[in-house]
A and B are shown apart, each in its own frame.
Chain A
Amino acid sequence: MNVLDRIRIERAVLSYDWWLDLRGTPRRRRRDLRGELRANLREAAACSGSKAAVAGLGSTRQMATDASAEDPTRPRWTVGVHSGLAALVLTMFAAFLAGLAWADGVMSADPDEPVRGSVTLLPGSSMGYEPLADGFAVSASVGWLPVAVGVLVFVLAARPWRALGRRRSAEPVDLG
């Protein structure tokens, strides 16, 4: 089994795990189902190739729907982490592009003195341009917005408040 086969199989396993997490499947149960699917896919790949083995699964979303009953009371940690990281990376990329545009504008003006500034849509950001004898130096700080967006998306996607609700409902009721 080569690296491409392993990547193909792991991609299917992670996709399955994603949908299971979205349905509120407990972590231990998800780990069991991941291990089982991985073992079955490797067996199938040895017989018919990894491409056919993964294709035989069809939709991993449908598989997750069929494999476990939905539990809307559980937080979705994996979904939260993936979504939060994706939002963080996208916002950082947008901040990088904004910084490049700012630096490009300053360089076009070709100032003799150091210039400091920020991007309006990135609160807390700071950009710096300093002309040197043999060129220039540019510095940039993207501020807190990308992290804030990442955390916000993580919280909205993971729904951690569900854990509080579960803990509260699990506490014994005092009838005295």
Chain B
Amino acid sequence: MLKGVLPLLLLRLVGDAEDYGYSLVLRLHERGLSDLTEGTVYPALSRLESRALLGSRLVPSASGPARKYYELTPTGAEELARGAAAWAFLAGTVHDILSPAMARRSQR
């Protein structure tokens, strides 16, 4: 996965709904990113929290220790908007560059 994409995805998912680490991993897997491991996602969440892009609160769980739910902070929302715009630009540019080449290759 490209550097910086995972934090962007996590900001988006947490922005949609407050969630905790393992549940976020499952949501990423459901979206098709089954190669992403817990060992990649948990540190990324910690980093986002350290940068104050995510806030957190502990919620008691009936099945075990309290879960740490993450929520998007205003700074995180700004970062998400910036990151989403940068990604849209990059994706569009890459698509423009690749498309003619792919079209030529398919014509041969």
Contact = CB atoms under 8 A, between A and B. Distances in A.
Interface residues of B, number: 23
A57 B39 contact: yes
B67 interface: yes
Interface stretch (A30-38, A122-130, A135-143): A30-38
Nearest to A43: B22
A42 B43 contact: no
Contact of B42 (A47, A63, A65): A63
The bracket for how many chain A residues form the interface is 20 to 34
B38 A57 contact: yes
B107 interface: no
B contact face: mostly helix, strand, loop, or mixed: helix
**B21, B22, B25, B50, most chain A CB atoms within 10 A:** B22
Most A CB contacts (10 A, CB to CB) among B37, B47, B65, B67 go to B65
A157 B67 CA distance: 33
Contacts of A60: 39
Contacts of A67: 42-43, 46-47
Given A43-B22, A44-B38, A62-B39, A36 B50 contact: no
Given A36-B68, A67-B47, A58 B39 contact: yes
A171 interface: no
A143 B25 CA distance: 54
Given A35-B65, A69-B50, 11 more contacts: A39-B64, A40-B38, A40-B42, A42-B65, A44-B25, A56-B38, A58-B40, A60-B39, A63-B42, A66-B40, A67-B47
Interface of A: 32-33, 35-40, 42-44, 46-47, 53, 56-60, 62-69
Interface of B: 20-23, 25-26, 37-40, 42-44, 46-47, 50, 61, 63-68
The 8 closest A-B pairs by CB, nearest first: A66-B43, A58-B39, A67-B43, A67-B46, A42-B64, A39-B65, A57-B39, A56-B38
